[in-house]
Structure 1
Amino acid sequence: MGSAFIGYGIVLTLLLLVGQFWLRRTGRSQEFFDSLIIAAWGCVNTFTEHRWGGPWVHNDLQHTAMGIIWWCAGLVGIWLSRKRDGRPKRNVIPGVVILLTGYAMSSHPQNLPLSTMVHTVFGYTLMGAGLTRIIEISFVLQDKNTVDDKDGEATNSFQYLPPFLLYASGFLFMGATEEQMQLLSDAGVTHVAYILILYSIAFLLFLFVNMLLHLYAVHAWPTTPSKPRPDPESQHVNGAALANGHARIPNAADRQIRDAEEFELEGLMSDDEDVGKDAHR
């Protein structure tokens, strides 16, 4: 489950930086896919968190209850994401689900004090991810897909916060197993030092993902729009000579040279006309 939070954060980073045009082609809002995955994940967790045939314990009941709320809220998110007025609508249901999951995890009972503190910080971090996601959709984007609908690459600095908190919550959750907590407790490691180390790893992964996406964007997307290929049989396009079948786009220097040549040509033509008139006389 911890790796699932990290994966969700990576997906949010992908959609934030390079995925907005893909979302437009699908004709769906981002919350439709989020809600669909949440509903499917909830169905699985509802029937797999308790080992059937054994006694129910407090952790089993809490995990099963979270699975139930996931698929219930996921269905609501799918319904609210349907197209209205010809365009898909955004909603805050996935953010609310993350917020409630963080609340449940922050109060998750544990056997060791160290484990209790790590789970508490994990829950608060997950609550922060859900809350910042709600703020992003409702106040930063104001239900739009991007800050500027005309530019799919436009982002706000606040939009980086929800995915990073998902990275951090995923590492905190993966690092809070009973075996790890017992080992750290025996070694005398405090929860503050351990949590800071996990946050540091989250920062490094967040940096690595952003660097990969930047590398992809630089090499996959041209900096200038491509020009249509001209007709091979034509010799000139808009006054620019063809080289190897491609039109050479005139720059400022070429235009200055052309203007100078035209000026000189006009002067020669005027001189020829004057000479012709004198000879006629």
Structure 2
Amino acid sequence: MSRARVLSVVAATILLGALPLAIAHGESHDDATMDKHEPPAPVEHEGAPSSYWSLPDHVGIMYWHIGLEILAWTIVLPVGVMLSIARSRLALLAQFTFLIVNALALLLGIVYNQKTPDLYENNAHGKTGWIITWIASAWVFMALLQAYAAHNNPSSPQDQIRHKLNAANMARYQRVHDAQVPTARWSNDSGQGTERNSTSLFGSRSPSVESEEHQQFLGQAPSYDQEVEDELEEIAEKSGLLGSTDRFFSRHIGRFASKIPVKFIKFLYVIIERTILIQGFVAIATGIVVYGGIAKGGAVFNVLAHFIKGGIFFGYGLLTLGRWMGAFADFGWAWNVKPPKEVVGRRRAAIPSAEFTESFVIFLYGCSNVFLEHLAAWGDAWTAQDLEHVSISIMFFGGGLLGMLVESSKMRDLLNSVVLSTQPPSQFNEEVWQQPRQYRTSMNPIPGLIILLLGKMMSSHHQASMLSTMIHTQWGSMFMMFALARAVTYITLYISPPTSYLPSRPPTEVITSFCLIAGGITFMVSNKDTVAALESYDLDAMFTFTVTMGFVALLMAWTVVLVGLKGIATRRENTHRSGQTGMSMAP
């Protein structure tokens, strides 16, 4: 496919991605959000639907909107992120595919809003969706900027090969071509002004170079390398095929692709790259809330608390699965020996252990949540349930602080100071006075203990209904299973500590990640509004349990596939770069 055709496709994709944004801004509403539309006359009868879930009108459009958004944010976008992290040449293709699918979903959402009444006024899904869409579009645009910057800056061997079409080479090629083909005037040349081979077009050259080329043309036939000539002919032919699309992108994008802005663009690009999936999770979560018609009025605090806390455990589970797969091995988080600064650099070597980070997050949660537990009943008298929740926050505060102290190497040295003070100077190098091999691996049971106690408390927590009690028992039991599986991991590593920089992948960590992900989702479901909705449809706790378990198994499998895809892309790119480097070094 020629470069002009590729750029034409890129231009069409950008226009398609901007179409929903233009339509939204073209509507006669106060602001461009998906939740703003002109509602028809309100239905007066008593059985009017109170949520989009129960609205029977235009369900096909909504189903297509949901399906395309799920496809865009859970299938196409993660593939694009993995390819982008691997610096694959296919990353742009996946990113533009995401823009197309997401644009179609947004169009359907706009159409649905125009055809249905506003059943959730001033909802967060519309505002959040548009903000995240703009961020994702900017992310893809920055990828395009970097691609042009890399194309125009031959810093790598493959770029140097690609940029052989410079002024001097083109000038020499044109002289060889003119020596073989009769001179003809360009169709766009008026016969006046700049000559095709003048120095004003190709830049000034030194007298020695000019004299050498002049002698070649005056003397024998030029001994020109046929392979280089063929390559220049091919590049010149491609350059001649560039149309208005290429000139437009080269003219406008080239302005942004200077060296100083590119550094900032790369930094911002990486930030969005590492957070765009979290933003997609927020968009999907708010969409579920709006579609289900929950979290209205004062109930928003209960739903928000369950979604935030459950979402944290959901992300914690995915992070745990990533550690098992080998992510953050350079930090020593993949159940491996932490590489020294000579191997990974000073910054990565200074990153604290995963257990210290877990303890710090627990400590931070305990500090902040002490003041938030009474937020839903602000101004009212404190109840026994409020005091229970505050006690849990204090447990997190103290447990997180204890976990950080256990993980501190300085604290460990202080605890060993009494024993080390009795060490004779003559025995400094003896093995019995060296640190045990278990010191090389972090084995801190405090984070697991805190989550175990939390699960036990929530399993025994009194709720307003039997269904709510059973759902709380489900995610509490999942957290207790996490703690037990993590304990088995520590016992295994204590008996046989890792000896390699490579991930050891203890099998029990797959169980811990499964329990955390499933427990986090069930935690989110256990809010009062969702439980009330389940009861209204006569659904029991087994329904939520089975659906959640099946979804988590599928999600974990897809996550492993994505990381494997990143590995394939990384290998191919390394092979490609090695091949290009070999070509550039060949005589």
Residue 217 to residue 41, structure 1, CA distance change in 2 (3 Å): farther
Counterpart residue number, 1:251: none
1:12, CA displacement in angstroms? 1.4
Counterpart residue number, 2:389: 63
Residue 222 to residue 68, structure 1, CA distance change in 2 (3 Å): farther
1:221, CA displacement in angstroms? 5.6
1:38 has 2:362 as partner: yes
1:56, CA displacement in angstroms? 1.6
1:170 has 2:520 as partner: yes
Counterpart residue number, 1:208: 558
Deviations 1:188-221 (A, max 9, x none): 1121122111222222222232222222233336
In the TM superposition, 1:153-168 aligns within 5 A as 153-168=503-518
Counterpart residue number, 1:26: 350
Q: Distance in 1 between matches of 2:312 and 2:488?
A: 22
- Amino acid of the residue matched to residue 395 of structure 2? I
- Amino acid of the residue matched to residue 402 of structure 2? V
User: Which residue among 406, 419, 426 is the counterpart of 1:80?
Assistant: 406
Residue 156 to residue 57, structure 1, CA distance change in 2 (3 Å): same
1:142 has 2:451 as partner: no
Paired residues of 1:9 and 1:167 also in contact (CA < 8 A): yes
**SS, match of residue 28 in structure 1:** coil
1:80, CA displacement in angstroms? 0.8
Q: Distance in 2 between matches of 1:243 and 1:216?
A: 26
1:27, CA displacement in angstroms? 5.4
**SS, match of residue 181 in structure 1:** helix
Deviations 1:159-186 (A, max 9, x none): 2110110000001111111111112112
Paired residues of 2:366 and 2:397 also in contact (CA < 8 A): yes
User: Which residue among 4, 8, 12 is the counterpart of 2:320?
Assistant: 12
Counterpart residue number, 1:49: 373
Residue 47 to residue 246, structure 1, CA distance change in 2 (3 Å): farther
Counterpart residue number, 2:486: 133
User: Which residue among 116, 134, 138 is the counterpart of 2:469?
Assistant: 116
Aligned-residue CA RMSD in angstroms?
2.9
1:14, CA displacement in angstroms? 2.1
Q: Distance in 2 between matches of 1:93 and 1:117?
A: 27
User: Which residue among 427, 439, 449 is the counterpart of 1:96?
Assistant: 449
Q: Alignment identity in percent?
A: 27
- Amino acid of the residue matched to residue 350 of structure 2? T
User: Which residue among 194, 207, 210 is the counterpart of 2:544?
Assistant: 194
Residue 244 to residue 57, structure 1, CA distance change in 2 (3 Å): same
- Give TM-score, length-normalised by structure 1: 0.74
1:72, CA displacement in angstroms? 0.3
Residue 148 to residue 90, structure 1, CA distance change in 2 (3 Å): closer
In structure 1, the gaps of 5 or more residues are 233-241, 248-281
Paired residues of 2:370 and 2:393 also in contact (CA < 8 A): yes
Q: Distance in 2 between matches of 1:221 and 1:165?
A: 32
Number of corresponding residues: 233
Q: Distance in 2 between matches of 1:78 and 1:204?
A: 35
**SS, match of residue 316 in structure 2:** helix
Deviations 1:96-117 (A, max 9, x none): 0110010111011111111111
Counterpart residue number, 1:245: 585
Paired residues of 1:30 and 1:90 also in contact (CA < 8 A): no
- Amino acid of the residue matched to residue 142 of structure 1? Y
- Amino acid of the residue matched to residue 37 of structure 1? V
Residue 162 to residue 223, structure 1, CA distance change in 2 (3 Å): farther
Q: Distance in 1 between matches of 2:324 and 2:456?
A: 26
**SS, match of residue 142 in structure 1:** helix
Paired residues of 1:90 and 1:143 also in contact (CA < 8 A): no
Residue 222 to residue 243, structure 1, CA distance change in 2 (3 Å): closer
Paired residues of 1:91 and 1:143 also in contact (CA < 8 A): no
- Amino acid of the residue matched to residue 478 of structure 2? T
- Amino acid of the residue matched to residue 371 of structure 2? F
